Structure 1
């Protein structure tokens, strides 16, 4: 998949059917240009709030919008072929907008805020293929809603509802399995409680198979395109593949290894997208370099052939058929061309120089034509024997060069193997460290979750305390209201009594005769009234005392001391938590610094090794150049030696003829001259053959240079692979930095939550203080009410004294008005009736007092129960603190044990690194010794050959001085021979 994402333009250039833009901070999907032929989209961990911009994506099968800020399911109407949908870790509340997804098989809505499931009714029927639903980690309360809205899903087989409030209900599994008949697994378990494997789908298998098929097709297409572009090269490659006698090149093995490695890496899930791109780029570069090298070689060959044609463009004189040796030379040239074409694969091959000379393959026509040249054939046989000896020598030298090349390749392979082993060990170390960090991060997250649960429990307890306080305040208010009502009723009774007394006084003026009876009755009434008042006062006093005993004074020392203790405990608890978290942060920072130091040391070691390899490569290159120069010098010397030897042979023969000429007559001299002509013709042919051999050697030299360039391209490819490894290491470092940033962000979030909790506690303390002030103000009001009641009692006493004075005056008036008593008897009857009504009112007051007593007893019982609950909560808090301390000790012990294990592992790693370094130094020392020995042997051979050559040169100089005089005589004869040779070449 080739994707270029620009943050400035917010555009995507897509060349494939898959998109993966995780963690790019995308907020709106309308800003991104999407191809209509997409098959899968992955926008995980972004800031998307709405689902839009997906219209027209008919071929989309996989959609991942997890870890975003989505609140509603909408904009999915055009996704007809969607099979998997992932909307986990969002803010969705209602399931809706799924009515057009008929091919949907897997739906993930986990860790949202879902409460309503009406949207599943849109997926009822046999048209829909929904098979797997994951709704764990939501706010689903009612089991009836689940059964109601999922009963019509005809193909539902796997369902996950864990971490919901519904999962805590009794027998919810049995109910769901009974109502949803086609359900096979619930929360990853079947009906019998066993783990169900198929309930956890393997996402992305189809994408992976499609990608692997695409890559294989691309490789096959690339090979076919090369064969179409260069048919000659493809034919040469096929000849090398099907010819077991010919040598295979090292570069083909390297390219095949790269191809096999790329195919194997496609099968592995762990390899990343960037590595696939880099491997393809390196293969393309190698192929282009090979093409350029082959084209350059072919151009050189074509120029050489053009030159030869130009040199042979003289007019023809004699048309004769070519000998079988000339045919063999043609075949030799054709085989060299095929070898040059095979350099597309960068072979390290130095083929044995050989001429296919077979006596049995002579053409009969050529035998007839060559009867005239029987004498020449004998001379050709002698020359062929000499050439065979020279070929053997050349073959031995080439074998030595091959052995040197094999030694160099072995050294390179050993160096690459050691580097590969070290890189694998470093990768294993980094993977282990990453796994350890992940495990630590999981432990921290579990600890944080425990703390969050404990905070939730404490908050629930505080809420319960608040509710209890509110109920107590309400009870106090009701009591105050009852007291005020009772005071008002007493006041009204007193007012009514005063009114009745006044009426009686008015009537007593008239009644004088009935004073005695009235005095008795009045005395009884007064005594009863006094008793009632005394009872009321006593009951009020008792009630006040009981209320004072049961009432909790918030200003008392005990209550304040208890509140201060709880505040100090909570403050100490939060301080300890902050200290522990700071210590953990410091330990994590130290561990991260250690990891960075280790990573830097590893990079330094790799840099040193890379520098050492470059140095060794340069040294080997210099040595190779020296060997090549020395080989060229030896070849030139051998060629010069051959020429000199041939000249010497000719000169020796000429001297023999001269001796015979001196002894013989002039006729013999003429015959000898004829023989010399024939010998000169043979010598010219030999020189011609030597010239052709020189041309072949030049071509072979060009081949060797091309192979050397191929070696350099291989080294460049190895360098690029090393760069890829460095990029992968940097990528791992970036991933570590990202993990660190995530950890820091989580720590900051936890600190913010702690600060918010502290603020909440401060607010609660402030509210408690405010409530204390309110309660104090209420106590002040109660005291004021008490003062008012005392004042009222004093006024009542005053009224009683006044009443006594009035009574005395009334007795005097009774004595004066006894005569009027008879008239007041009728009125007295009415007064008796009023007295009965007062008794009934008194009974009602007694009943109300009994009700107040029962209410008071109920309040005392409630206060006792609440005090028991408070004691139980204190005990639970103490137990929780003890368990927390025990867990902290266990965690500290485990941390120390893991630190010791880490130190031991680091010591073992250092020991193994030292052992590998020692072994590498020993191997290098051995290779250097072998190279030095080879150099010494080669130098000795060069010195011996140079000494021989000097001796021969001294002898030949003397002979050349004598032959220079005779060259002038033979120039004319040589011209005729040149015309004859040109005619033979044109016939070939």
Structure 2
């Protein structure tokens, strides 16, 4: 294999030499082209953006990095390294071939930026995941050849899913040279893959019919450095394989003139010699063109005529018998050497020329025997064959030959030999001239077709540029509208974010208020629990005291009953004794006597003493009972005062609790109103968010519709372009056919003399047309590249817009998620508030129940106290006067008046607290209004900041566009340089053609000189 090493900038590019015998397009032949990085680190390589090919085979590179600046890199070879992950290739948009074989890769990824990639080699790795090929789906990507043999692919479903959307894929290699994947061992693997992937025509080196697929010349574009020479390779191959047609008839006026003179001389010699003594015709083999098996019938006919005339001249020679007697050996004519340099066509046909032989007539010595010779001549156009019939020679012919013709026959043989040699040389030169003329005519036709094609392309380019301009204007207007809509959406998003911030601040305030309420409720519950515990203790103490008082009352009642029983017994004893005394008095003494009176007096005195003594005892007992009763009354009064104080305290606590409950109810009502307001705000916010979502969805739908319309338009344009190309190809074929027919007609009618005159004109026209065509082609290519660059820029801008819209949609989704979370938190807080309300209601119910129980207990205590008071009143009625009762009533009245005064004081305090709460609420409302005004001012400031950011973004866009235009100018300059180089190549080709024309002219001059010599020799004869 021959290589060309070309230094371009600071990079080494290795090209294949353009040889006809070279047909190798396998990229594995480039494995040992260049070891560029001995250190094995890509960051140490000074890459220039103009590098087009880079080979880093077998350098122990661990990862792909440092290739972001090589934008124009087309061929990259990183085989036989230590790479375990595909990365750092997203910026190589011009890359066509990528070789990552013999590495440690396990997953295909990071290939979404390789738009122009046509050949990917991932063989001899550890790949089991092809999910990165999903990003190459669609018509934008150009992947055609994929090599995956010697990997770990075991899932045919995953393989088909990853390869199904690659529309340009033509060849897939999963098994080669005995190295395959686990997928290849599954039954029916080939049928399933070919059925599921209709775009694949070659699988594992075999086409759909099971035949070995030959590699076409289209893969030459994937060979580093051969992009600019593919057309030359194709043209050289077609020119080599095309059959050379002899179109123009060859006129030889001088040869015809010499032959007529020679015939006249032969006619004069026929008068002298006898026609019976004609020699045997030699067997000659006509020399044919080696290239044209089906040559021109006119030229072949003329050559046959010339040969026939030469054989007739030989037959008319009277001295042939002597030479036939003397010569017994067959002498072969030597082949004439060529004066011109050998071309590739002459080298290919040298074997056939060496096989051609021209024979000199044979002469036999036998007198009695006769030899018969036959000569067969084929005509390819007419199919007529002429055979020279054998003529028998008798002994009379040999006897009639004269001695003077011996020397003449030898001279004629030498002249014939020289004539035959010159004829062969002339045939070769004529053949070369015909081929050069045919090449020139074909190149002229090709140039004419190219001119027509370029004119068609120019018209199509103008038409497509107009359409593209219209599309660009429409896209710009749509882009401006989308930008305006995006700005409106951004403003709405900002307003919504501000409203969300306000809602969050309100929620925080509500949270703080709820925390305060919870703290106050917890504090109140703690106070209530403490008060309940104290009340329970007091109730227990009162119950204990009341039980003790009941016991004392029961004891006193029992003692009073005992005293009453004793008094009744005493009264009964007195009554019985009085009756007995009366009976005794009635029995013993009569009333009115002195003894009676003395006894009565004694008895009265004793009874009075006893009675006085008894009365004194009873009075002492009554005094003690009164003292005890007074003590009990004092104790009972003290207990009543204590209970009254406690009851007043409980009443005060109840009043405080009721006041606190009223305050809590008011705060709860306020909080409920605030919650309602916040709920209404949240509902409004959700409605606004829903509206904005609907609008955003409408905008996204409109954007998608616009994108789909643009894509459909692009597809329709591409279909129209494909139809136009198809029509252009058909027109080219028709034009080629027409040109061929016209060239055949013109070639049949034209003459070599006219071609001599037209060569100069054709040369000038070729030079002018080549220059003009090169200029037009350069302009059109520059224009096409500019338009393609603008299309790529528009596509990238559309992709960026789509990405921004996706990002904004994601932001809106995140905002909606935050709003949903806020709603959920609000719902949780509502649930907490409801729980708190329910707990407060339960606590109120409990307090009410406790109050009812306490009221029932107090009612029972009151009933008991009433019973005691009734009992006391009865005792007072028995023991004391009604004044004590009046004093007690006065005291109760004074105590009730004091309580009513205390309740009035509490009411005044509550009224003052309500006024204070109202004032605090008004101050909070003022603060909220001030905060609202501040929020509006912040909203305005945020809008101004957004306008500033938008202006900065526009400036950045303008700067990016200016940089893009500068890059386009640089690319145009580079293209202009390339066009100049191509023009230089065209000039060199034209110079070579001129040299060929000059050589043909020199050859023809030499041929004319030789013909002149031949004519002079014939004139001598």
Q: TM-score, normalised by structure 2?
A: 0.38
* Structure with more helix by fraction: 1
Q: Structure with the greater relative contact order (CA < 8 A, sep ≥ 6): 1 or 2?
A: 1
Q: Please tell me whether Structure 1 or Structure 2 has the larger radius of gyration of its CA atoms.
A: 2
TM-score, length-scaled by structure 1: 0.39
